[in-house]
Structure 1
């Protein structure tokens, strides 16, 4: 799955699933203690969220079939029914999300395929591209915003210092790992912020070309509001 958008192939798989049919097949699988029929539906192609729920259902079914004692079978049947309900709920939830994305896509679209850097320095940046229009009759306007964050890699004094100082290559590897994690936080925050801005009816013409991410006053790092480029500082 994309970071914020459901990929086209997963949308096609979701569209091919009838939720009523899925519910019937789940009940049949519980009754007959086999999960063969739901496999006729493209559940495994609907993305990792639904694939996990399908896997949990398969595991629950296996445990139920292996159970022998009446009390144990009652427990495993309850677990199996919950897993089946979770699978059906996951499909319904993803279908609703897909419909919402398609509706929003008539007025705006955020490109969530952001290029992952090979090397990081303390000045991180993420460029998010988008298209938008005020009404479905308007032409598309294309734009982008680059969010920047200057990382302050201060030593963590609450962690005991290692007995032996790491080698320079190991220190650089650890530094790159930490910067990568911060960049991914910045990237996700940037994508969701642009999407939320348009969802709240924001004007695409007012999106700045660049924005310096605000830092948390306590930690000195990023928080959930750092990439909200339209949010006025307190």
Structure 2
């Protein structure tokens, strides 16, 4: 799954859900004290974000159904209703995001399916491909930008050293795991940076082919501004 684009299958599932119908079915679940009424909706196909909220609602509903004492029933009913409202809000939030993506898709699209390399060095890179056009009436222009990042893996001396020095193989594994996490962070920052640039009205003609990201001088890692390739422009 991509990072900034809702997959087509999830869009189809989201599009099939009427918020008012969902609201009514949630109330029915509370009356029935079981979640079976939700089966007629395609919630399972709406992605992890909504699935997580649905499972939370089902757990709260189960607790309500098992409660016996009046006070406990009132508490668990309140919790279940709150979880149901959270699920409804999540669906509406994703539907709004889908509508925003469709509107933005008339002017730009960013390919967020980026595969990691087989092995990592301290010189990381992520290439983001995109297409853009000044208006829907004009042809698409394709481009890409490569974000470069020299990772600083010097040890954090504020932490105590391990009681036993790990083996060379274990050190190599930990190094690759650390670099993978940095690569994932770089990928996210790169994608969000290009998306935010287009959202702010930027044009693909002004995007450089490469950009050396700027780590935080204190943490030596990336922050939310490290990949803003247009930040220093006049």
Normalization by structure 2: what TM-score? 0.97
Q: What's 2:93 paired with?
A: 93
Query: CA offsets per residue over residues 109-156 of structure 1, 9 Å max, x none?
Result: 000000111100010000000000000010000000000001121111
Query: Runs of 5+ in structure 2 lacking a partner?
Result: none
What RMSD over aligned residues (CA atoms) do the two structures have, in Å?
A: 1.3
Please state whether the residue corresponding to 1:102 is helix, strand or coil.
Answer: helix
Q: Distance in 2 between matches of 1:198 and 1:22?
A: 34
How many pairs does the alignment contain? 234
Deviations 1:8-60 (A, max 9, x none): 00000000001111011111111121211111100011000110111011111
For 1:97 and 1:163, the matched residues in 2 are separated by 48
Q: Give the match for residue 190 of structure 1.
A: 190
TM-score, L = length of structure 1: 0.97
Query: After the TM superposition, which of the residue ranges 24-33 and 157-166 deviates more from structure 2?
Result: 157-166
Residue pairs, 1:109-124, within 5 angstroms = 109-124=109-124
2:131 is aligned with 1:128: no
Distance 1:163 1:47 in 2: 43
- Match of residue 176 from structure 2: 176
- Runs of 5+ unmatched residues, structure 1: none
Partner of 2:35: 35
